[in-house]
Amino acid sequence: MRGLWAEDVGFSYGDFRIEEVNLKVNPGELVALIGPNGAGKSTLLRLIYGTLKPNKGRVLADGRDIHRLSPGEKAKLLGFVPQSHVPTFPFKVLDFVLLGATPELGTFGAPGEKHRRKALELLRLFGLEEYAEKPYTSLSGGQIRLLLTARALMTSPSYLLLDEPTSELDLKNALLVLQTVKKLAKEGVGVLLVIHDPNLAYLFSDRLVLMKNGRIVAQGEPDEVFDEALLSEVYGIELRLIECAGETVLRPKLEV
């Protein structure tokens, strides 16, 4: 059974709760999670990746419980790009990307030439090849975001989960990341991403999932979820959908 499934997933921590979420990401599909701050988007992503364990329900990747997978098996199925990263050791940029192959190599395995070629290919993809021999701690926050995405792709995972992949990126690099993951989806990878900008989510996703207060309040094709009344209620601000250069754009109603 292909697909990444969250089945009746519930989670609580203090006063915060995720309420019995059901969500599926199909191979070749880009699903965007949107909603206000504190809605539970990042928590849900960590539950689906397995960093957090649900109090209720389960997560299956191609029919397999993610909490019963070995690190190598999990790395082949799931790639994860976290929302934040604090550099610790000044690895060379190339070596940092190669670390993405560690789960499939094992504790004492060493990357070979094929891994090096793949890492360089990923650095080229994100415009970072010229930094290959420099310490990654010298990169900007935006460049590190690109680097984390490259590292997550080292095992060619079946499903890629990204938490705010465009944060700290300028418009050009934000589009580069989204165009790249959209291309991966077209090639068969299932992509689930948390994204702050509903307009970018609408533009790139095959399906939108709208969250509020730990619950999914709507999911479907972008045109189905992009409803003025629904989005205004969820975000707590009056919003308008306008047509601009042939595109639907969400804008707040401003009093000037």
DSSP-derived secondary structure for 185-253 = HHTT-EEEEE-S-HHHHHHH-SEEEEEETTEEEEEESHHHH--HHHHHHHHTS-EEEEEETTEEEEEE-
CA distances from 79 to 45, 61, 92, 163 (A): 12, 12, 21, 11
Average pLDDT over the chain, rounded to whole? Answer: 91
Given a cut of 60, whether residue 254 has pLDDT beyond it is: yes
Using alpha carbons only, how large is the chain's radius of gyration in Å? 19
pLDDT above 70 as % of the chain: 98
Query: For residue 25, how many C-alpha atoms fall within 13 Å in the half-sphere facing its CB?
Result: 30
Instruction: Flag the least confident range among 69-83, 184-198, 235-249.
Output: 235-249
Query: Alpha-carbon dihedral of residues 162, 187, 59, 118, nearest 10 degrees?
Result: -60
Mean pLDDT of 96-124: 86
Helix, strand, coil abundance in the chain, percent, nearest 5: 40, 30, 35
106 has a pLDDT exceeding 70: no
**Residue ranges of domains in the chain, CATH in brackets:** 4-85+155-225 (3.40.50.300)
Is the pLDDT reported for residue 197 higher than 90? yes
Q: Looking at residues 132-160, what average pLDDT do you find?
A: 92
pLDDT band at 96 (very low <50, low <70, confident <90, very high): very high
Tokens of 227: 């409803």
Q: Are 78 and 61 a contacting pair, CB within 8 Å?
A: yes
pLDDT of residue 109 exceeding 90, the answer is no
CA–CA separation, 75 and 186 (whole Å): 20
Q: Which pTM was predicted?
A: 0.91
Confidence of residue 160 (pLDDT cuts 50, 70, 90): very high
Length of the chain measured in residues = 256
pLDDT tens digits for range 36-91: 999 999 999 999 999 999 999 999 999 999 999 988 899 999 999 998 787 778 88
